[in-house]
Amino acid sequence: MSHGILDIETALRLKRFSFRTPNRVRGRKAGIHKSYYKGISPDFMEYKEYNRGDELRQVDWRLYGRHDRLYVRKFEDEVNLNWCILIDRSASMSYGDNENTKLEHAKRLAATLAYLLLKQGDAVGAGSFTEDGLELIPPRPGNTFITPIVEKLESVTPSGGTGFTTPLMKALETFRADAAFVIISDFFTDEEEIEKGLQMLKAAGKNTALFHVLHPDEYEFGFRGSVEFEDMETEEKIIVDTGAVRNTYIKRIREFMDRLRRVCHEYEARYVFSPTSKPIEESLIEIADK
């Protein structure tokens, strides 16, 4: 089994971490996420006055001895969760150094996260999206499911422009039940579309995390002299004196990142800045329970 994009060492270092959603979910199988329903997990949740029909084994007899009234103990139920991991496969994601493009970084991030999620018993579906559409394999639990996920991710090649709303709508059709979305992208698309997509996910009750992948060139702009730049998606060309535009460009890209953070905060999505120069371990820790 070839797991070239799966960073096993990182996965092993992160195995003590778990990835939970803050909301209760309606899972069918046992897992680590708090269930929408009360269950039989060891975690005590609350006392409830006995009513007819309650199981007698749940009555707390010590409390009855002290107060002369019957109370039953209620426990949490823990279930698994479906995860939808989506990576942006637009042309702009191909930017980067030879083996460290943004897309490769996104693939490693997605594969490693999928591995960890499968290990904790969740069902994971993964896919890629562009402005034109979505390629997705539905979620399934089980460690062995990592292989098709990795194969799917490895087969992703960059093309087209970055889209957000359309592929998300398609993904939501697949993940109608409770699910968590992880979207890995450079988000170089219309900012209103990003906001609309996040709004849609929140309305659907999905927990969402955004991994913002950028190459250092994109936020440090370390170019020199006069350079003719060609947009990787629109093929628009522009000649600039890099020295003259550097400060303004850096200011504008940071404003974009700040706006993205604010939108995520507004729609209760987690924002993780994950540049290609940053180890994926550090990015993943930011969404893990510590």
Contact residues: other proteins, CB under 8 A: 92-93, 95, 102, 186, 188, 215, 217-218, 223, 225-234, 236, 238-241, 243-245, 248-249, 251-253, 256
Element (H, E) at 75: strand 71-79
Q: How far is CA 237 from CA 39, 225, 232, in A?
A: 60, 16, 10
Structure tokens belonging to residue 99: 């083996």
232 burial class (0-12, 13-18, 19+ CB within 10 angstroms)?
A: middle
Closer residue to other proteins in complex, CB, 50/256: 256
Judged by DSSP in three states, 255 sits in helix
The nearest distance, CB 284 to other proteins, in angstroms, is 24
Whether the CB-CB separation of 263 and 198 falls below 8 Å is answered with: yes
Both structure tokens of 102: 């943004």
Which residue's entry shows tokens 């600039």? Answer: 240
Nearest approach, Cβ of residue 162 and other proteins (Å): 9
Minimum distance of other proteins from residue 232's CB (angstroms):
5
Taking the least distance from each CB to other proteins, the nearer of 55 and 236 is 236
Cβ closer to other proteins: 276 or 283? 276
CA-based nearest residue to 153, from 212, 101, 118, 108: 108
Asked if 22 and 34 count as a contact pair (C-beta separation under 8 A), the reply is no
Min dist. Cβ of residue 217 to other proteins (A): 8
**CB of 216 within 8 A of CB of 222?**
yes
Minimum CB separation from other proteins for residue 253, in Å? 5
Return d(Cα 16, Cα 11) in angstroms, integer: 10
Residue nearer to other proteins on the CB measure, 203 or 238: 238
In the complex, the smallest distance separating the C-beta of residue 252 from other proteins, rounded to whole angstroms, is: 5
Tell me how far, at minimum, the Cβ of 225 lies from other proteins, in Å.
7
Helix axes of 191-203 and 165-174: crossing angle, nearest 10 degrees: 20
Element (H, E) at 245: helix 242-266
Strand partners, 253: none
18 vs 128, beta carbon nearer other proteins: 128
Kindly tell me which of 17 and 219 has the beta carbon lying closer to other proteins.
219
Closest CB to other proteins among residues 188, 267:
188
